[in-house]
Structure formats: structure tokens, C-alpha cells
Chains A and B, each alone.
Chain A
Amino acid sequence: MNNDGVTIILAEDDDGHATLVERNLRRAGLDNGFVRVKDGQEALDYFLGPGQDEACDSCILLLDIKMPRVDGIEVLRRLKGDSRTATLPVVMLTTTDDPREIERCYQLGCNVYVTKPVEYEQFIEAVKRLGFFLQVVKVPPRVPAAS
């Protein structure tokens, strides 16, 4: 697999969802590094916090929208607005299927938008497809911080 070095960062406040996503990604055949952060602030700290320049050379962020403290939309806006993380691939993974919400995320620069369906099969299918996507996606090298 050509993405072995890619770390998947999952920003998700619901433990159950996080577990289901990770389990099913593993079942789909992904063995990438996996980091889970519990809310938007943690996600921001992970990428933009002090001393985090080398935290992740090549990452993909799976981002939930409804999270305490800082929500996913804000995280997306801040990451895309920062030169260091502007090229970071972001996959919105959320329960909202509101078309205007989806449009807003794409406008802010998210790369893929995946709805978490309640129907398990659909959910698994979505995660599986995400797994395939993650296997083929080209992750650009991290832009070094300007100093």
C-alpha cells in the first residue's frame, strides 16, 4: 500500500462512533497510524499548537461537525486558513446531511463529505469506501512553518 506512512486523525467526540469508524476502517484493510482527538479544540491543538510542527508529516483528518468547545466547521475554517495546514486533506464525517451544511463545508475547503448513516450497512459501506479512498489519496507533504 502506498499510503502506509499516512496517519489518520479522527476528530470525534462520540466514543462509540470513533470505535465503529476505527474498527471498520481496520476491517476494510487499513493499517495506518490512527490518532483520535475528542473535540475541535484538541484537533486544532494537534495541528496548530506549539511544538506541533513535526506532529504529522502526512496526515488525513476525519472531522465530525458536532463537537463540544470548537465545532468541526470552525476547525475546518481555521485549518484551511492557516498556511501550514491549508493542503491537509480533510474528510467531513458527520451525521448531518443538510445540503447547505455540506455546501458550506466544500466552500470552506473540505475534500470529501461523508454522511454517517444510521443504517449500519450504509455506514459500514461509507467507511469502507472512505478506506478505499484513503488508500489511493495522495497526501501532499506538510508545508514547513514559515519562520
Chain B
Amino acid sequence: MNSIFKKGLLLIAVPLVFQGIFLAILLANERASVEAENWALHTQLVIGQAESALRHLVEESNRVRGLVITGNPVFAAKPADLPDPIAELHRLVRDNPIQLHRVEALGVNAAGLASWVAELERLVRAGRASEAGERIRSLQGERLLKDAQAKITAFLAEEQRLGRERLDLLARTRRQQRRLLFTAAAAAAVTAFGMAWLFSRGISSRLEVVTANARRLAENAPLAALLGGGDEIAELDATFHQTAFRLAEAAAAERLYQAEIERRAAELAHANEELRAKSQEIETFVYSVSHDLRSPLVNLQGFSRELERSCLDLRHALGQAELPAAVHPRLQAIDGDMQESLRFIQTAVSRASNIIDALLRLSRAGRVEYQWQRVDVDAVVRRVVDAMRGTIAQKGARVTVSELPPAWGDPTAVEQVFGNLLANAVNYLDPARPGEIEVGARPAASSVSSTYWVKDNGLGIPEPYLGKLFMAFQRLHGDVAPGEGIGLALVRRVVLRHSGEIWAESREGEGTTFFLTLPAGEAEKGIK
């Protein structure tokens, strides 16, 4: 049997027990009341009996007088064989010694009266009526009757007193009964209230604590102290506490994981920062080295030209000098060698200078500080196309620019990107067919970034070269246009610094399409 059921049972049982006790008391009282009523009735009966005894005595005395005076046999007949009222009275007051005594005395009296009557009847029957009259006149009978009358009156007085007493008792009992009823009703109410209060304290208040705990559990607040007791409520509360404990454990584990994730993120950020610093370092190094290399190159080139000039002067001086004819071919050979050497030096220097320039441009693309702003890509591309108008016309190409969405970035860098891509498209057109170059934008897949494309119908890029496309100093069509193979590496660097992506789709002999994404809004601003 569970505890709440027990408590509920108790709630019903206690008032029931109380009501039982009250019922018992009431029943006892009822019995007392009935007894008192019986006694009252008994008194009435006794009084009636006493009065009838008196009446009997009076009648007997009257009858015998009538018989004596009239001699009429009507008076000779004794009344029907009635039970003796005195004997009946005797039986009724058995319990009361005083009254019993009185009745006994009355009995003696009555017997005296009866024998007097019997004597008179005998005299009448014997025809001694005058003697009987004499006897009557002697007032003996009268005295006996008066005596009996006095006794009965005393008896009645006592019995009436008893009757009053008993009626009093009955009334008292009735009053008591009423009081008891009221008390029982009040006690039942009080018990019911008391039990309800106890139940509320024992169940409702505990349930409230558990409900509050459930709410706290939902709000992740600390729970109230564990409820005592062994009922289902305490069990429920214990379960809540257990759940709270588990939740706290889970939260602690989560915090641990969170901390771990944060640590990893910090590590990653640190590594990233280090990488960026390294890359910056490398770019600075490249910049500084290529810059330093430029100085000696200026000298190499400059003085090779000076040397060339000196050679010219020397040739001129030798031409004016009077030299034997046999020396001339030899001198010409030397002159030719010198000029060839100088040309080689100059070509090499030019090449070195171009490479250094390319390196400088590349390092600058990584180092230069961007002026982040909204870039009108449409205007930028049209400006680039306009600047290349000459070359485009010369190649007989046609450039179509669709409307381009704005981007978030550095205007100069964005211009550099489209400048390079368009220059490539124009430079590597297929002479076999009229050049068609298109610049457009894909409908934005997201509001985060826009995808632009530059498409040509040029020479195209063979599959194996696509992978090396964006690497520095990689040239595919080295013979088609001059350059150091830095353009696409530069473009890629710029796009990456804009947190964008760049890729190419190409088919050899059909053309190439370059795709690139640029951030559409400030939120995507790269900080590379």
C-alpha cells in the first residue's frame, strides 16, 4: 500500500472514528432518555393505579353502605373479578422502598376496610341490617377509608414529586442530547478542517516544493533541500534532485568541451596568426631582396651601356687611327664579340629586372594595405575595358560586359584582378577566329558573396595545366605574349585576400572561363 493512499485513508478514517465515538455517546444518551421517558410513564401508571385503588376503596365502602341502607341486592354484587389494585401497585413500586412501605401500609388499611365490608355484608345477609346500620354509624368504616385516603394522598404526593423529578430528568436528557448533537457537528467540522490542514501540510505543501523544484530544474536554478519522508512525493523530489545533478554534470562536461574548443580555436587562431606573420615576413623579404637586387641591376645595365658607348668611341677612334690593314678583320671580330657579349649581358639583365619587377608586384599585392569600401565592379570593369580599347581593336575582338553587382573590397585591387583577367583573355585569343570576350555575374546564390566570370573563346588551357594555372612564374603560351607568368598568381592573391575564391573552366581550342567570388557586403571583409 502506498503512502499517499494511507494518508488519504487516514484523512477519511479519523473523522469516521470521531463520528463513531459521538454516535456511541449519542446512543447512550438516547438510551438514558428513553429510560427517563419510561420512568415518567411508569410514574403516570403508578399514579393511575393509586387513584384506581382509592376509587376501588371508595366504591367498596359506598356499595356496602348502599347495601346496608337499602338492602337492595344490587349492592350485594361485588364488582367483576378485577385484579387487586393494591397488589398491582405493590408490584409497580417494588423498586422504591418508601413507596413500597406506604403501599404495604395501604394494603393493611385496605384489608381492614375489606374485612369491615365483609362483616357488614355478612350481617346484611344474616338479616341483621340494623346492626349493620349501627356499625356504619359507628364511623369505623369512615375512619378506615379516611386513613386509606390519607395514605394514598401521601403516596400520590410522593409519586407526583417523583414524576416531576423524572420529567425534569427527561428534559435534562433531551437538552443534553441536543448539546451533544451540536458538539458532534462542531467536532466533525473541526476534525475535517484539521485533517484537511494536515493533508495540505503533508501533501500539498510537499507537492508545492516538488513543483518549485521542477520549475527550478527548468530554469537551471539550484534546487531546495531534499524533501524528507518516504512517500511518492519524496521519491519524485529525489528524482528531480538526481536529474539536477545529472544536468549539472552534463553542463560541467559541456563547459569542459567548450573550454577545449576555445583552446583549440585559440591555438588555431594563433597558428593562423603565425602563418600570416610568416607569409608577411616572406613577402617583406621578397620585397626587400628584389628591391636590393634592382640597384646592382641598374649598375649592370647602366655600365654595360656605358661600355657600349665606350666601344662606339673606341671604334670611332680606331677608325681614325692609321692601322695596318691586316689588323682590321681581327679588330672587327673583337668588336663583334664585344657587342654580342654586351647584348647577352643586357638581355640577361632585362630578364632579371622583369623577374624582380614581377616579384615586387606579387609581394606588393600581399603587403599593400587595402582601403575597404563598396566597389562598383561594373564601373571598374568598364574602365578596364576602356583602357584596353586599343589592344582589343587591334586584335579585332569584341568585349561584352553584362551588368555586374557591386562588391566589398579595395578598388585598386579589384581593378587589378579584372585588368589581368581581361588582358589574359585578349592576349590569348585564337587568331583563327574572331575573339569574343564576355564579362558577367552569376545571379547571386547568397547575399554573402557574388560570383563574377570572364569568358573568352581563345586558345584554352589543356587539362594538365589547369592545376598550375595560378602558380607564379608558370607560363603556358610563353610565345604568344610577353610576361613573367605572374598575372594569375597576383589575381589569386588579391581574390584570396578578399576572402574570395577563383577557379577556371577551360577546353583547349574552345576557350576559358575564369570564375571568382568577391564579398558582397562589409561583413565578409577579409583581414588578410
Give the interface of A toward B (CB within 8 A). 14, 16-17, 20, 23, 66, 95-96, 98, 100, 116-120, 123-124
Contact = CB atoms under 8 A, between A and B. Distances in A.
Given A20-B298, A116-B298, A118-B297, A66 B291 contact: yes
Given A95-B294, A119-B301, A124-B305, 14 more contacts: A14-B295, A16-B303, A17-B299, A20-B303, A20-B306, A23-B306, A66-B295, A98-B360, A118-B294, A118-B297, A118-B298, A118-B301, A120-B304, A120-B346
Given A23-B306, A118-B349, A16 B291 contact: no
Contacts of A96: 291
The 7 closest A-B CB pairs, nearest first, are A16-B299, A118-B353, A120-B305, A20-B302, A95-B294, A118-B297, A120-B301
Contacts of A123: 298, 301-302
Contacts, number: 52
B135 interface: no
B368 A16 contact: no
Nearest to A100: B368
24 contacts: A14-B295, A14-B298, A16-B296, A16-B298, A16-B302, A17-B295, A17-B298, A20-B299, A20-B302, A95-B291, A95-B298, A100-B368, A100-B369, A118-B298, A118-B301, A118-B353, A119-B301, A119-B353, A120-B301, A120-B302, A120-B304, A120-B305, A123-B301, A124-B305
A14 B299 contact: yes
Contacts of B303: 16, 20
Interface in B303-336: 303-306
Nearest to B303: A16
A119 B356 CA distance: 13
A71 to B, nearest CB: 12
A98 B357 CA distance: 11
Interface of B: 291-292, 294-299, 301-306, 346, 349-350, 353, 356, 360, 364, 368-369
A120 B298 CA distance: 7
A59 B84 CA distance: 179
With a 10 A CB-CB cut-off, give which of A98, A118, A123 has the most chain B CB atoms. A118
A100 B369 CA distance: 9
Contacts of B296: 16
With a 10 A CB-CB cut-off, give which of B298, B301, B369 has the most chain A CB atoms. B298
Contacts of A100: 368-369
A96 B350 CA distance: 17
A72 to B, nearest CB: 13
Contacts of B346: 120
Contacts of A14: 295, 298-299
Contacts of A23: 306
Contacts of A124: 305
Contacts of A17: 295, 298-299, 302
A53 B191 CA distance: 119
A33 B168 CA distance: 159
Contacts of B298: 14, 16-17, 20, 95, 116-118, 123
A23 to B, nearest CB: 7
Contacts of A16: 296, 298-299, 302-303
A94 to B, nearest CB: 10
Contact of A119 (B292, B295, B350, B360): B350
A23 B299 CA distance: 13
Nearest to B305: A120
A87 B248 CA distance: 76
Contacts of B364: 98
B345 to A, nearest CB: 11
With a 10 A CB-CB cut-off, give which of B295, B299, B349 has the most chain A CB atoms. B295
